[in-house]
Amino acid sequence: MASYTLKVRRYQPEAEEDGRRGAYWETFDVELDPTLSVLDGLLQARDGSDGTLSVRCSCRAAICGSCGMKINGQSTLACKTRIGEAAAEAARISGADASGPLISPPAEKELADGDGAPGPGTESAGNEPIVIEPMGNQPVIKDLVTDMESTHWKKFRRVTPWLLPSGPPPEREHIVPPESMVDVTQSVACIQCGACVSACLSMEADPEFIGPAALAKAYRFVGDPRDGQTTERLYDLANDPHGIYDCTHCFACVDVCPKGVAPMNQIMRLRRLAGHDHDIHDVNNGRNHELGFVKIIERKGTLDESLLLQESYAPGVKGKLLPRAASIKGLLQSIPTAIRGIRTGKMRSLPKLIPGVHPKLPGDAQDHVKAIYDRAEESRIQLNLYVIGEGGEEDQAAEAVEPESVSEEPSAT
Amino acid sequence: MPEHDVLVIGAGLAGQRAALAAAERGVSVGIISKVHPIRSHSNAAQGGINAALAVDDTWESHAFDTVKGSDYLGDQDAIEVMCREAPDELLHLEHIGVTFHRNEKGELGTRAFGGASKARTYYVADITGQAIMHTLYEQLMKYADQIDRYEEWFTTDLAIDDEGHCVGAITRNILDGSTELFRAKSVILASGGNGQIWHPTTNALICTGDGIAMAYRAGATLMDMEMIQYHPTTLAGKGFLITEGARGEGAHLLNAKGERFMETYAPNKMELASRDVVSRAEQTEINEGRGFPDGTVALDITVVPRKRIQEALREIVLVGRDFAGVDITREPIHIKPGNHYTMGGVKTDVWGRTNVPGLYAAGEVACVSVHGGNRLGANSLLDTLIFGRRSGEDGADHAKGRGQGSVPRSALADAEAAVEEIIGRAHDGGRRVSEIKAELGATMDGKVAVFRDEEGIQSALDAVRRLKEEAAGAAIDDRGSVFNQDVLGAIELQNMLEQAEAVCMAALERKESRGAQYRTDYPERNDEEWLKHIDVSRNGGEPEISYSPVTITDWQPEERTY
């Protein structure tokens, strides 16, 4: 048994008394074994002292996907997070906070406004409060309960989430390659908990983004040899302005997923299937933009931003010499973004953007870059934990399956 | 007032399958669930689903294994139906998209499971329940025009008309606390089992058997309530499930001395004897001092090849790592028998019909009875799908050509008042709902578990009756309307206590040992006196016990060894 403090971001929509209107923080002291979960801690608080504390939960074993929330700023399942480890993480963040400019969870900054929350520095390092908040990118209904229907489930339905077989069912089962079923089982393993939606940075910028969970669901059908609408699905997802090219490749979803679904990997596989295998030229220029990165780095080793816009909208020599009207329009529309990028320091200063002055890599570094490209092109490593096993370790099954490299396709934006 | 031809309460596998089957017959369907359907406990079924689909397998063999597994308490006509229809149901699942494991030829592949004479368990890694349920939910999206979903609505009671017909249900919208009377021509209960009556349990927090309690109050007969399955491999303390698939893949059970003790209890089937047999063997080892100090024995999965573990048992690698801190690919994990499954439930025929006209039940809420005294692993998914579909079909046919029944207007007001009464209770120093629930769980796990005797069961029954009184006055904290989980917890507790009473009464009544009911004071099976079902009903008053015959077709009871 050990003591822990849970600092919970609360919202009681019907509360009328001062201090409980709007969102506020409240701390709960709980006592339990360090190997038990943060959910166990929350339930102890709810069952023992405050029955108004609302949290969805059911299986307690990371199967039902109910208890998605942010713990110490990280989107995860409360049932899967050991309370002892969460407390250690809270202490680590707090220590890092005091000593340097590392990123702290947003919660910490609002700590000072009281509402029963202890002031900074009142706890010993061993009992730093575990900060618990509802998931992000979803409206909050009450306490840790979010409105997944208007966000997550709506997007889920967006990808036509059912099998569209190519013909009438066979007399017995469909005969399919065994590894194809293992392959899509990575997406099937998704429990729809919403942790990836909560963590998705692209969705923060574009709330309409179909998002990691729904796109992983989409791959589940695209990758299924029994589905008869593969091209149509890919065409749809590539041309939606909030579709597969809206992902910025930040890895947040891969990082937080409690089930190893690696949604971003599924999105990258959708991109490759759409752009490379099905040769879909999307109206968003997502494919060209992506190839722009690939081409520029293959030639120069680092990103020459002066070429990026042109490669995205009017690729190649032909595009440069004979740009289409749509390309010119796209280029012109991008100018404000480019200016904003330069102003905010996200792009390099103007003189360095003059074509031709981009520095070369030192020594034979460019040859190494070329070698990486060659390796990537000759193999297609499928990053699928169901196939290669967690961490890879001594399981070298990856070699047995169609190899692929996720790093073959650099980020789009 | 929402109206549907068929109303399904509960949206796990049985409920979703029933809704889809009814929709395919062209009627309008509503499906209600107290959690989002994807959160339903069917998710937790890891190992697989049985079907005699292979060319060298027969439904008769599957049926015999099931009959024997049930310790001859299963009704053989129902078992025949389930096993005959299993192959077609499995193929249907494959056709709508379930990503079943394939053999090298790309055909459906199987794994071995307990109590089965053939490897006939089809599976998706060890997330079979999840994979099937998500696929059915996909189909609910596809049929969205015909099937209205009410996600996060808590049904408090069934609506019964003056003639005793079930004509709908009264349901609270959890989101805003409003109450609606749903009218329907057929009502199908598919709201799952009651494992939360025990602690620990492998069951989710939602498994409070609300449907069993609701039907019981509405006059439906409950059957085989004493038959509660303890699963042989659950994590000590937390009750998490380690799939039987682990033993199907070859894992061993070891006592603290490192002995493979199943040699003593089931020399032929060893670890793959039926669950009641394995659980009793483990408990005997533990009780006789050959277990580990934490009251467990060990499951050794390291004998299974690593690659096979990664491919077929990945979920329990995660369970071991996240919830026990054990890498099951490298060391044995400590396990013990734990509450797992409700074999009994609302008594139905092979079409899911209960004794209340218009009311159906399917899945764990129901007792057809295909599981009798002990359910075989990988027969529960099958039960939910076969009888879910049949209830949906018959419910749809029943609804056709009928008008909506008339519900007494007071029904809605009475239901609302009952909920308001709980919300309005004053704190007067009584016990909290959670305390009462904890005592219930510990009492039942202590007295009505793997080994039972009269004294223990009677003391549990006395405790349950006392707890019922305490629960009737237990105050809650949340006075609000929006997402008031506190009041739902109080209602669930009442539901659980009503069922616990029936469980204890039936366990006390059955003076023999059969399947999951092992009475140390009556250690033998006694076919002469007890080859019959125990029914419990409560026609408006106190619970009453009666008996009904077991249907025997081809398989006469014989001694049961593994």
Looking at residues B280-303, what average pLDDT do you find? 96
- Chain A residues inside the 8 Å CB shell of B135: 163
* pLDDT of A394 above 60: no
Helix ranges (DSSP H) in B44-118: 59-69, 76-96
Candidates B136, B50, B156, B32; CA nearest to B93 is B136
Cβ-nearest to A188 among B103, B134, B310: B134
Confidence of residue A390 (pLDDT cuts 50, 70, 90): very low
Residue A171 in contact with residue A178, Cβ under 8 Å?
no
Candidates B435, B426, B442; CA nearest to B477 is B426
Tokens of B151: 């996600």
Positive or negative: CA dihedral B359, B362, B366, B368 = positive
Tens digits of per-residue pLDDT, B215-233? Answer: 999 999 999 999 999 999 9
Q: Does any domain span residue A367?
A: no
Q: Does any domain span residue A318?
A: yes
Q: Does any domain span residue A100?
A: yes
Residue A112 and residue A258 share a domain:
no
Tens digits of per-residue pLDDT, B492-533? Answer: 999 999 999 999 999 999 999 999 999 999 999 999 999 999
Record: contact A178-B101, CB cut-off 8 A: yes
Write down the mean pLDDT value for chain B: 96
- Chain B residues inside the 8 Å CB shell of A385: 314
Residue A241 and residue A175 share a domain:
yes
Q: Is B549 exposed, middle or buried (0-12, 13-18, 19+ CB in 10 A)?
A: exposed
- Chain B residues inside the 8 Å CB shell of A386: 125, 310-311, 314
Confidence of residue A351 (pLDDT cuts 50, 70, 90): low
Q: Which of B183, B275, B389, B452 is catalytic?
A: B275
Tens digits of per-residue pLDDT, B138-193? Answer: 999 999 999 999 999 999 999 999 999 999 999 999 999 999 999 999 999 999 99
Least confident of B256-260, B367-371, B427-431: B427-431
Q: Is B36 on the interface with A (CB under 8 A)?
A: yes
> What is the ipTM for the molecules in this complex?
0.95
Cβ-nearest to B478 among A52, A161, A224: A52
User: Domain of A83: which CATH number?
Assistant: 3.10.20.30
User: CA neighbours within 13 Å on the CB side: how many for B281?
Assistant: 26
Residue B312 in contact with residue B125, Cβ under 8 Å?
yes
Looking at residues B107-134, what average pLDDT do you find? 93
Residues B305, A406, A72: CA angle, nearest 5 degrees:
80
Residues B508, B509, B514: CA angle, nearest 5 degrees:
90
Least confident of A84-98, B47-61, B139-153, B545-559: A84-98
The residue with greater pLDDT, B360 or B323, is B360
B308 given a catalytic annotation: no
DSSP A174: P
**Residue A383 pLDDT:** 53
**Of A116, A142, A168, which residue constitutes the final position of a domain?**
A142
**Residue B39 pLDDT:** 98
- B175: closest chain A residue by CA: A141
Tokens of A364: 């034979």
* pLDDT of B433 above 80: yes
Residue A93 and residue A66 share a domain:
yes
Q: Does any domain span residue A366?
A: no
Tens digits of per-residue pLDDT, A16-32? Answer: 888 888 999 999 999 99
Segments forming the whole domain that contains residue A257: 150-281+395-405
- For residue B395, the distance in angstroms to the closest alpha carbon of chain A comes to 25
Confidence of residue A124 (pLDDT cuts 50, 70, 90): very low
Q: Does any domain span residue A178?
A: yes
Q: Is B333 on the interface with A (CB under 8 A)?
A: no
Distance (Å, rounded) from C-alpha B510 to C-alpha B532? 10
Distance (Å, rounded) from C-alpha B60 to C-alpha B51? 11
* pLDDT of A241 above 80: yes
Residue A264 and residue A196 share a domain:
yes
Q: Does any domain span residue A369?
A: no
- Chain B residues inside the 8 Å CB shell of A52: 477-478, 480, 486
Q: Does any domain span residue A336?
A: yes
Put simply, the chain B residues between 221 and 260 with a CB less than 8 A from any chain A CB are 238, 240-241
**Residue A27 pLDDT:** 97
- For residue B486, the distance in angstroms to the closest alpha carbon of chain A comes to 6
Residue A212 and residue A196 share a domain:
yes
Candidates B275, B262, B203; CA nearest to B441 is B203
Residues whose CB falls within 8 Å of the CB of residue A15, separated by 6 or more in sequence, listed in order: A21
**Residue A384 pLDDT:** 52
- B240: closest chain A residue by CA: A61
Distance (Å, rounded) from C-alpha A360 to C-alpha A300? 6
* pLDDT of A103 above 80: no
User: Domain of A162: which CATH number?
Assistant: 1.10.1060.10
Residues B241, B247, B251: CA angle, nearest 5 degrees:
110
**Residue A309 pLDDT:** 82
Tens digits of per-residue pLDDT, B551-560? Answer: 999 999 999 9
Put simply, the chain B residues between 135 and 164 with a CB less than 8 A from any chain A CB are 135, 138-139, 141-142, 151
Residue A85 and residue A43 share a domain:
yes
**Residue A333 pLDDT:** 85
A64-68, A272-276, A301-305, B539-543 — most confident range: A64-68
**Residue A304 pLDDT:** 83
Residue A158 and residue A123 share a domain:
no
Record: contact B41-A59, CB cut-off 8 A: yes
Could you tell me which residues are beta bridge partners of residue B9? B32, B189
Positive or negative: CA dihedral A110, A112, A117, A122 = positive
Tens digits of per-residue pLDDT, A167-208? Answer: 999 999 999 999 899 889 899 999 999 999 999 999 999 999
Residue A41 and residue A187 share a domain:
no
**Of A142, A163, A193, which residue constitutes the final position of a domain?**
A142
A103-107, A349-353, B112-116, B437-441 — most confident range: B437-441
- A391: closest chain B residue by CA: B310
Positive or negative: CA dihedral A30, A33, A35, A40 = negative
- A54: closest chain B residue by CA: B485
Q: Does any domain span residue A378?
A: no
- B42: closest chain A residue by CA: A64
Confidence of residue B133 (pLDDT cuts 50, 70, 90): very high
* pLDDT of B214 above 90: yes
Name all contacts of B407-411 with Cβ < 8 Å and 24+ positions apart. B407/B159, B407/B161, B407/B167, B407/B168, B407/B181, B407/B183, B408/B161, B408/B162, B411/B157, B411/B159, B411/B170, B411/B181
The residue with greater pLDDT, A154 or A350, is A154
* pLDDT of B105 above 90: yes
* pLDDT of A116 above 70: no
**Cα distances (angstroms) measured from residue A120 to each of A87, A91, B105:** 15, 12, 63
| 3-state SS class at A93 | helix
DSSP B164: S
Put simply, the chain B residues between 55 and 114 with a CB less than 8 A from any chain A CB are 91, 94-97, 99-109
* pLDDT of A104 above 90: no
Quote the pTM value. Answer: 0.92
Q: Is B486 on the interface with A (CB under 8 A)?
A: yes
* pLDDT of A164 above 90: yes
Candidates B13, B22, B12, B16; CA nearest to B392 is B22
* pLDDT of A389 above 50: no
- Chain B residues inside the 8 Å CB shell of A394: 306
**Of A122, A142, A162, which residue constitutes the final position of a domain?**
A142
Residue A257 and residue A113 share a domain:
no
Residue A127 and residue A156 share a domain:
no
Residue A202 and residue A91 share a domain:
no
**Residue A409 pLDDT:** 38
Residue A130 and residue A168 share a domain:
no
Give how many domains chain A has, as a whole number: 3
- Chain B residues inside the 8 Å CB shell of A141: 175, 482-483
